[in-house]
Structure 1
Amino acid sequence: MSAAAAAGASPAPGAAPAYLLPLLREINDLKRVRSAGRPASIADRLFASAWSRLVAGEDVARVAMATTAGALAANRLGDLDPPLLRQAGIGAEEVSVIRQRALAAVAEGLDGGLRAKLSAALDAPAREGRPPVFVQRLAEQPRAGATCPDRPRIVLEPPESHAEHCLMVAVYGVMLAPVYGADAPTVFLASLAHHLHNALLPDSGFTGEMLLGQALEPAFAEATRQALAELGGPLLAAVEDARRILPDAETPEGRAFHAADTLDRVLQIEQYLRGASTSMDFVLGDMALVHEGPVKRFQDAVLAEMGLLP
């Protein structure tokens, strides 16, 4: 991490925030963290929660900070969220302390002003409404994987959902907003809503989009219109306004969004490749799969006898 990053200073607008890459990688795994009795991944559920709060009339800035703070805390706590911790007999104040500790453990390199907002929003009271229908459809709609015209599709399992992608871009966007001098709530809302067309249209990737030709833009526009019709009043206006940043990277908000979108797309593929190339030496050595404890000597002996030690 650079000295400026360690001090909480923001790089110049337009700088590549390489010091954030390890944290971005780690948060990306929220697409793949699940627990008993809960549907889908943490990322899927954060996406639904964000829309639920927006529909209930919560301020976009408040939802953006609370959602991002929740994602960062879950980065270390996984699905040990307030309801489960309280059910396990931990008092509300101690739960808050635990979550603030988890947030602080991963947020050190973020902009100082952003860290303060995230800390304040982490356990703030929330209002919840009924999410639009498109939220569930995006959670059920898989991403296309890697496609390129005139080449066979590369199918990567398990696929991420469009809800997971949109949530991750929204969280990345909030984290990157200070880097580009962008308005974080605008980037967050645009990111949550940038794949509304896929609530109707399955994702055929770059290949399918090229084959649609002149029909592409009208089809996407109509599918988006149908999703937006589920919203009303101030939220509809706010979503339409935020989505104006999507077409280009000429504004600070556009740059923050496109940086977040690109990074999530590439890091999603990277995790497939990383998993496929992980060695037993790394898992047993660096990751201490069989870690220190009272029976480690026996465990190592078992592995040695079976020929499984590096």
Structure 2
Amino acid sequence: MNDGIAPAADAPPARVLGPFRELGELKRIRSAAQEGSIAERLFAAAWGALMAGQDVGAVMRATTAAALAATRLGDIDRGILSAIGVEGDEAQAIIDRAVDEAAEELPPAALEGLRGAPVLAPGTAPPFVAKLARQPRAGVTCPGKPRLLLEPPENHAEHCLVTAVYGVILSPFYGARADAVFLASLAHHLHNALIPDSGFAGEVLLGEHLEPAFVRATEIALAELPSALADRVREARAILPDAETPEGRAFHAADTLDRVLQIEQHLRAGKATMHYVLHDMELVHAGPVRGFQDRLLAGVGLLA
């Protein structure tokens, strides 16, 4: 009997969840000199590079490498390294070490071409990119039930970027063309540049109007792209409707894992204990004043 649970062959090794959780945190990492999260800015940079004519495969490798490196370096990227006097081979070595460390639990085939990956070509992102960055995700909705909204919500730029990176990593497992999965993932919510996200509940209420509305809104966004790039995006988006192809499976695996891990992040943070934060994560870590700090926390009753 089919109970709706996918066979094991449909799922990648469970060890990918650790790196995927870290990549998901790029939606929440920010820095003083930049607007928006790392994920949001990588989404804009990827579209800018595509608009500038950079090859999809090069954009895919540059974006994936930058995302993996950021799980270790945060917002210390090539620009910051250059500003502090670290350039050329030295900067590349730091980024490569970060990629290698972040990818220790990932299948080796997923990392091909990421060490020494090209940088993203500078370019101006199409207008829909900023709209997707301003468009919050709906949260958890279900017809007939109240919405579960966890703050702060992610935005559609962040979701599309993380899905795209997951998709690249998962593509070898499913035997999929990674560049098609990457581009389809970047473009799978183009309709939300115009249509606010009402979630599953709102989509059900739109009924027969749903698909025509999504198609029209998607075409409005695609009109912002050069015709050749728009055609390439349409071709890539052909994998979206089902999971019958390797590319469809890689995309839907990436999309599903990001949606679920996004909610898990909120639930996991809510379950964290002070003992875990202080002892396992070493919030107060080794250093010349560690003894004083521990006595202080014990004295006020915070050293669990």
| TM category, shorter | over 0.9
Counterpart of 1:120 in 2: which secondary structure? coil
Partner residue in 2 for 1:103:
99
Within the candidate set 54, 65, 74, 1:78 is matched to 74
User: How far apart in 2 are the matches of 1:126 and 1:158?
Assistant: 29
Supply the distance in 1 between the matched residues of 2:122 and 2:285 (Cα, whole angstroms). 42
Q: Is 1:232 paired with 2:226?
A: yes
User: Which letter maps to 2:272?
Assistant: T
Partner SS for 1:185: helix
Q: CA deviation at 1:205?
A: 0.3
Give the unaligned 5+ runs of structure 2: 1-7
What is the aligned partner in structure 2 of residue 8 from structure 1?
Answer: none
Residue-by-residue CA offset, 1:153-211 (whole Å, 9 max, x unaligned): 11110010000000000000000000100000000000000000000011000000001
Say yes or no: does 1:154 pair with 2:144.
Answer: no
Q: 1:42 and 1:214 mapped to 2: Cα distance?
A: 37
- 2:5 is aligned to none
1:261 is the counterpart of 2:255: yes
Letter aligned with residue 207 of structure 1: A
Matched, 1:93 2:84: no
C-alpha displacement of 1:13: 6.5
In the alignment, is residue 61 of structure 1 matched against residue 61 of structure 2?
A: no
Over residues 81-107 of structure 1, what are the superposed CA-to-partner deviations in whole Å (9 max), with x where a residue is unaligned? 011111112232211111111011111
**% identical aligned pairs:** 60
* 1:254-307 Cα distance to aligned partner (Å, 9 max, x none): 000000000000000000111111110100010011111111111011001100
Of 170, 186, 193 in structure 2, the residue corresponding to residue 199 of structure 1 is 193
The answer on whether the counterparts of 1:13 and 1:181 sit within 8 Å (CA) in structure 2 is no
Are 1:34 and 1:41, in contact at CA under 8 Å, matched by a contact in 2?
yes
Which runs of no fewer than 5 residues in structure 1 stay unpaired? 1-11
Q: TM-score when scaled to structure 1?
A: 0.93
Partner residue, 1:143: 137
Please, what is the CA RMSD of the aligned residues? Answer: 1.2
State the AA in 1 paired with 2:176: A
Rounded to whole Å, the distance in 2 between the matches of 1:64 and 1:268 is 22
Determine the C-alpha separation between the residues in 2 that align with 1:223 and 1:39. 27
Amino acid of the residue matched to residue 15 of structure 2?
Y
Q: Is the 8 A contact 1:300 1:309 kept in 2?
A: yes
Q: Which residue of 2 aligns with 1:187?
A: 181
Change (3 A) 1:55 1:198: same
- Partner letter of residue 199 of structure 1? A
- Read off the aligned partner of 1:298 and give its amino acid letter: F
Q: Do the aligned partners of residues 187 and 13 (structure 1) sit closer, same or farther apart at CA in structure 2, a change above 3 Å counting?
A: farther
Q: Which amino acid aligns with 1:27?
A: L
Q: Which moved more, 1:63-72 or 1:104-113?
A: 104-113
Task: Provide runs of 4+ in structure 1 moved above 3 Å.
Answer: 12-15
TM-score (normalised: structure 2): 0.95
Number of equivalences: 297
